[in-house]
Amino acid sequence: MSLEMDTSSSSQLTKDRNQGIKFRKSPKLYENRFGIGVLVVLLFAITLGLGIGIPLSKRSSGDGSGTTGPQTALQRAQTLLSNNPLIDGHNDLPWQYRQYAKNKVYTVDLSQDTRLQWNESVPMTDNVFPRIPAQTDIPRLRQGKLAAVFWAVFVSCGSTQKDAVRQGFDQVDVIHKYVEKYPTTFDLVTTAAGIENSFANGKIASLIGLEGGHMIGSTLGLLRMYYQLGCRYMTLTHSCDTPWAGNYKTDLADPPVTKGLSEFGKIVVKEMNRLGMIIDLSHTGIDTQKDALMTTQAPVIFSHSSAYTLCNHYRNVNDEILNMTRVNGGLVMVNFYTGYINCFPSNQTTPTLSQVVDHIEYIKDYIGIDYVGIGADYDGVDLLPVGVEDVSTYPKVFEELIKRGWSDADLIKLAGGNFLRVFKENERIRDTLANDSPFEDIIDQSQIPFLNCTTSF
């Protein structure tokens, strides 16, 4: 926040007081140079004393931020996010359009508060999840200082081996439509440089993430087509297996089911490296995570996961995988969902923002500041801790971190610097592989279930 110094009152006060000073009419004083010097010093001291009386809140903070006065922690957070890009790895707004508006983008006005719009215009049913969160719209995105966001392309696991591919392309189209609808707000972006350019131009960089390998139909050609349409990461699985990768629920079986990447799954990872498409390991099982981390040449992300040690949900990242992610140079983008933040051993009666920050700090302290980011999962969840209820609240997270003693340099890395590093490294690896031919491997057809629903080679 910029506070301009108002010096008019102090200047007038100085002027009035100077006019009120009376001197004895002593010829010696006026004629003596030494006496004149004393007079000048006295006048300077009086003026300086009045200057000292200017309130501190009107003075330059001297931190180079262009602001004046000592800032509150929240003001400092807002200033920092105004000057450095904040990137969220996962937002499910497209899914809200699908389940509540049948993908009719023009029925909801994102330039207005969506909470009343969703609830007034869309009938409620008993079999949908989540309940119209309405956590995202343009005014609140601006209030939250968001610079870039990955809009998630998600379709349910029930569409696997049915129409997941078609539904996936529909959701890509939804994102393209609402980005085009608000050209003064959004830019469709496919590169790290594009994020930086959008930020410089005051727009919100809109990127596309494919949330689930079931949408590529186990074919590399479709993976490439999604990339051509702008998808810059793919989550290898959602909460269901693909024929070539295991999801986190395999870890819940007793005994756990061993299912990592098949040979075809490893080819998927290699082709993503060749394309420059970031590998996202949220939702995947531990064996899949290990196989992917040992196969990839490029840094991976967990686009919306938190720390397992603080909340023992299998959607979170355990310490062993955190260490492997550090070695890989990857990134864990912390999810704000109550179910991944507030569980044993850290469960509280009322989940709060402080617990979200605990997860951020745990990852920072365990593997380093370079490997943590933010992937809040707004509009993909219906339960959020107090203080982080929607996209307007990002500055509150940074306010809490400032209160805990974080430096500006570390806050900038968390906000978006770490993700930009990962994105640029994926682009660099892509460029080194530019002369490699596309992979043309075909999955073993015996691995595909429901062959009566598909056409085999």
Residue 435, both tokens = 């002369």
The 10 Å Cβ neighbour count of residue 70 is 12
Q: How many helices (H) and strands (E) does the chain have?
A: 18, 9
Return all residues near 81 (Cβ < 8 A) that are at least 6 apart: 145, 147, 394, 395, 398, 415
Residue 213, both tokens = 């390998």
Cite the active site residues: 90, 92, 211, 238, 283, 304, 377
Return all residues near 367 (Cβ < 8 A) that are at least 6 apart: 322, 323, 325, 326
Return all residues near 8 (Cβ < 8 A) that are at least 6 apart: none
Q: How far is CA 263 from CA 245, 266, 307, 323, in A?
A: 10, 5, 29, 24
Burial pattern 91-102, b for ≥16 Cβ within 10 A else e, equals bbbbbbbbebbe
Across 100-177, the runs of DSSP E, i.e. the strands, are 148-153
